[in-house]
Structure 1
Amino acid sequence: MAENDEKLLAEFEIRMRQLMYLCDVLKVENSQLKEELSQKVLIITGLESEVGELKAKYDNLKFVKSFTSDGDGKDLQHTKKRLAKLVRDIDRCIAMLKY
């Protein structure tokens, strides 16, 4: 009976050591994954700010492009009308803010 208990105890000890080793391996892997995740978050944050800057530049380009003409008289007249409308809208907004 004592021999059987010793075998069980030895087997339990072996399995426990294996389990502890696997736990240590998983802890190392977990810390590596956390580090990798934090690096990816930093990269994503940088890319999101770059996307925001590029969107602002694109919007500015669209705005400028809407007021430029190719030398055609129609485009120039259209641009003048749009600018006049914008000025009227701004004047109206300023007048509304004063009251």
Structure 2
Amino acid sequence: MSKIEEIVDSLENKISKLLHKLEVLRQTNAKLSQELALQQHKNLQYQEEISAWVEKYEALKVAKSLLGSDEDNRETKLKINALIRDIDHCIAQLSE
């Protein structure tokens, strides 16, 4: 019987260690999940900020080209033409 008791004690000890490791891993996983959520939120904020800066940059480029800069005149004319087409399309839809 002594041999069986040793085996049972050894199994209990191993199970106890495994359960402890499992709990540690669960805590680590929860912490990493929180950090991931925080980083994803920050990433979303940065993407929104980048989009705002891109819009500001594009507006500045258009304003600069309207002031007589030869660099972006063609691009500005294309954008103005696209806006006019969009407005014409909207007018056509409203008149239907």
**Highest Rg: 1 or 2?**
1
TM class by shorter chain equals: 0.7 to 0.9
Task: Quote how far apart the aligned CAs of 1:90 are.
Answer: 2.9
Whether 1:12 aligns to 2:11 is yes
Distance 2:22 2:28 in 1: 10
Aligned to 1:93: 88
How many corresponding residue pairs?
85
Unaligned runs of 5+ in 1: none
SS at 1:31 equivalent: helix
TM-score for the superposition, normalised by structure 2: 0.74
Identical pairs, percent? 21
Q: CA RMSD in A?
A: 2.7
Task: Quote how far apart the aligned CAs of 1:22 are.
Answer: 0.1
Consecutive aligned runs of 4 or more in structure 1 exceeding 4 Å deviation: none
Task: Quote how far apart the aligned CAs of 1:62 are.
Answer: 1.0
TM-score for the superposition, normalised by structure 1: 0.72
Unaligned runs of 5+ in 2: none
Structure 1, residues 26-78: CA drift from partner, whole Å, max 9, x if none?
011011001101100110111011011011101101111111136xxxx6xx7
SS at 2:68 equivalent: coil
Distance 1:26 1:41 in 2: 22
Aligned to 2:33: 34
SS at 1:69 equivalent: coil
